[in-house]
Amino acid sequence: MRLTGMGKRATYRFPFGSYPAVRIAVLLIAGIIVGEQLYLSPWIPALIILLIAGSVLMSELQKKKKIGLIRTRLMTGSVALLILFTGVFRISAVKDAAPGSVEQLLQLMAWEKVEMTGMVVSTSKTASSKYRADIQITRTEIQNERIDDAPFMIRLLFEEDLNLQRSETLTFIGTIIPVSERRNPADFDYASYLKDRGIFVQVKLDKVITHHKNTSVFRWAWWREKALHIVEQNFDEETAPIAKALLLGYKQDLEGVSRTAFARAGLSHIMAVSGLHVGFVIAPFWFLIPWFWNRKYGREAGMVILILILWGYAGITGFPASVMRASITAGFLTYGKLFYRSGNSINLTAASAITLLLLDPTDLFAIGFQLSFAAVFTILLILPVIQRWLPYWLRIKWYGSPLMVVIVSVVVQLGLYPLQVYYFGEISVVSPLANALFVPLLGLMVPFALLNVFVGAISITVSSALNIPVLWFLKGMNRFVMFVSTQDWAWMQSGLESLWIFPMWLALIFTIAGWNTPAIRWKMLNLSLILILIVQMDGLLRTSGSNLMEVTIFDVGQGDASLIRTPNNKYLLIDAGVWSPGYDSGKSVIIPYLKSKGIHTLDAVVLSHPHADHIGGILTLLETVEIDTIYNSGFEYDSNLFHRYQELAKEKEVPVRPVQSGEMIHIDPALLVMVAGPDGAVRNSDPNQHSVVLNVVYGETEFLFTGDAGEAEEEHLVQNYEDLLDTDFLKVGHHGSRTSSYESFLNYVTPEIAVVSLGEKNKYDHPHAEAIQRLKATGTELYFTSRDKGMIFQSDGQRIWIVNWEEAGF
């Protein structure tokens, strides 16, 4: 009997048997995620694995001739559990890594001097243009006493480029620096990041004693250094940093402006040596594969040559994780092509993911791993469907290939949308055009430029002459990138409103991938619609408002920044933290928090006074989020930062309004935001004495924010408001300085909670003992950002309480 379309849909079953590696990868990933959440000792999953494996083995030894359905399902379930707990075991083993005895001793000796000798494992440049290196230590000496020589890893921090290369030996004196934990909600967990890499000690370099450079041609570092030198000679000052990043993965010379520009142009992936570059390198090899098919032992020889090519390219790029990841994936795919098994690229890609996760399960949480495999799977799943939709006549036209590049770029951009928004908060609109213009040509330029590196080893004159087309290509690309990155239409900010977007996006991808199979199409379409509904409902719940007011006090070091979320989801930022060379609170602390909460607009920003420790992040905020209005004290101040923010606010058409005592700021009818200072009649040359003081009232709870108000302004506040100053929450003025929080002021304020924002070991010796004694005398509950990190307080209009944001998952 012939099946109808409905019948086919009813009886169709997805061919899971054709994708064994995919099934294993899914189970392994699930196990890693479970292990990451549970914090188990590795002995527990190891014992479970042994029990399951023993049961399977016993079952096999005692099996009967007839295999029943129940026994088959039990065996299948047992194998699935075995793979799942393998993932749990691998991540638990990594997380269970503990510091050795020497590392524990060094952790207890923070800020002490130490002399060390070790071998360079890797180097990199920080976002603040400083440098770091991971060093395997072989000798440690403290106070002229040598301690245990058991090798361990440290992270070395230094200001100037030492041109360190892998495998070089360094002897140095440094200061032990505590590894910082998360200081604020949405902060990067640096301590966990280092722990996952087996690093528990951090040292700031004070002095290099000896530096033994690599002079052996039998070390990859020598070849990498040679290649970098040739690239520098082949390119000019404008293009050399780009060429070194593009060809060899050396990004230390690439300025932050260039990195941002390439990201906004949708071309940042070409600056990180990864799958695209590995593809360019092995592309010529792929054209030779039919030749290997027709030779005796040709396929085996082809695999050996491929491995040598991939190993060589990984070597001169410094063996970065992205290249190793791409090389393993390329190896699996090329194996399939050589041995006629390329019909299932999805399975081979999953096999490479399994290999990588077994080697290092923490790769699953690495941005590069997620973006790489998400891009590859999106292409493999969706592109064949789109190609079938395109008419044949269109594909064979001269513009067919460029059109496919644009389509691939759009597909990848859409496929990676949730990840890009989650991690970066920006999406490049111009990416399809940029990729269509440059990626096809890069397929020619990258192999040619790498070939010129080898030519340059023989004759730099010939190499430079041959390299002229690549030089002009990079000049043109760089100027295009710099132009579009300044255009508002080329990129847009976006936020992830709900984590439900991730499963919704997966369902939509599978819907398109299974479009030609009705059974899959309708099932996935129904699932997609359900998840879209969940996302919409989640968004409504998030924006419907609540009866809670939330105050986040950021730890920005020796500065101030506080964010108020009103009961109706309006946002008021009071001060913008610190700016100093190499550090910007806006970029490092405030923006990551706003992005994590999906906050795109600040309804009001109040800058209490124009010092850099209170307005430091305002330039970044103006460039990154929408600001309705900026309120300040009206005090004119002569600093580049102050003048630049005024100019930028004008460029962005953000009004800047001076406020004085007695005015109101209207952002939410549920709140009363009253300006208590500055007093316009006061004449004082100190900006601190003109600080904007806010009294925020919600229900029966009051919050007082005093900026850097000192004794003079506190006296005016008492004269003007007296008992009206009585508050429940005090943001202590001037970081706990002795010139603020005077007894006459505190007698009227009488706070139940007082928070001091200041940096640990700051040069001003804040907080001063006198101010703290005066605060303690009021009976207040006292908090310090230097000790207690960033804090979140909530109020329901009746009482105020502190939220443990680390346990609450902020």
Distance CA 366, CA 412 (A): 18
- CA-wise closest residue to 378 among 419, 326, 436: 419
In whole angstroms, what separates CA 787 from the centre of its chain? 26
- Amino acid, res. 438: F
Residue spans of alpha helices (H) in 116-255: 190-196, 220-234, 240-248
- The predicted model scores a pTM of 0.78
If DSSP codes are grouped into helix, strand and coil, which group holds residue 132? Answer: strand
Q: Write out the two tokens for 761.
A: 């070991």
369-377 long-range Cβ contacts below 8 angstroms, 24+ apart: 369/325, 370/419, 371/416, 371/419, 372/274, 372/275, 372/322, 372/325, 372/326, 372/329, 373/349, 374/415, 374/416, 374/419, 375/275, 375/412, 375/415, 375/416, 376/275, 376/329, 376/349, 377/346, 377/349, 377/415
Distance CA 281, CA 267 (A): 18
Could you tell me if 759 and 789 are in contact, meaning their C-beta atoms sit under 8 angstroms apart? Answer: no
User: What local confidence, expressed as pLDDT, does residue 631 receive?
Assistant: 98
Could you tell me if 327 and 314 are in contact, meaning their C-beta atoms sit under 8 angstroms apart? Answer: yes
Could you tell me if 554 and 585 are in contact, meaning their C-beta atoms sit under 8 angstroms apart? Answer: yes
Distance CA 271, CA 247 (A): 8
User: What local confidence, expressed as pLDDT, does residue 613 receive?
Assistant: 94
Dihedral (CA of 164, 168, 173, 174) sign? positive
Could you tell me if 676 and 721 are in contact, meaning their C-beta atoms sit under 8 angstroms apart? Answer: yes
Q: Write out the two tokens for 635.
A: 């005090």
Q: What is the mean pLDDT of each run of 10 residues along the chain (810 residues)?
A: 43 64 92 89 90 82 63 82 93 82 85 92 78 92 80 92 83 92 88 85 94 77 85 90 86 76 82 76 75 77 85 84 78 75 73 88 85 85 84 72 75 83 81 82 87 89 91 93 86 76 90 83 88 85 77 95 95 95 89 87 96 95 94 92 95 95 94 91 82 96 95 91 92 92 93 94 89 94 95 96 82
If DSSP codes are grouped into helix, strand and coil, which group holds residue 749? Answer: helix
* Beta strands per DSSP E along 299-444: 426-428
Residue spans of alpha helices (H) in 390-430: 392-395, 400-415, 417-423
Q: Hey, how many other C-beta atoms are within 10 angstroms of the C-beta on 11?
A: 9
Could you tell me if 740 and 733 are in contact, meaning their C-beta atoms sit under 8 angstroms apart? Answer: yes
How many Cα atoms sit within 13 Å of 802 on the Cβ side? 15
User: What local confidence, expressed as pLDDT, does residue 6 receive?
Assistant: 42
- CA-wise closest residue to 282 among 249, 255, 305: 305
- Quickly tell me which residue has 């001063």 as its tokens: 768
- Quickly tell me which residue has 């033994």 as its tokens: 212
The pair phi, psi for residue 258, each rounded to 5°, is -65, -40
- As to burial, measured by CB atoms within 10 angstroms (0-12 exposed, 13-18 middle, 19+ buried), residue 73 is exposed
Buried b (16+ CB within 10 A) or exposed e, 742-777: beebbebbebebbbbbbbeeeeeebbbeebbebbee
If DSSP codes are grouped into helix, strand and coil, which group holds residue 555? Answer: coil
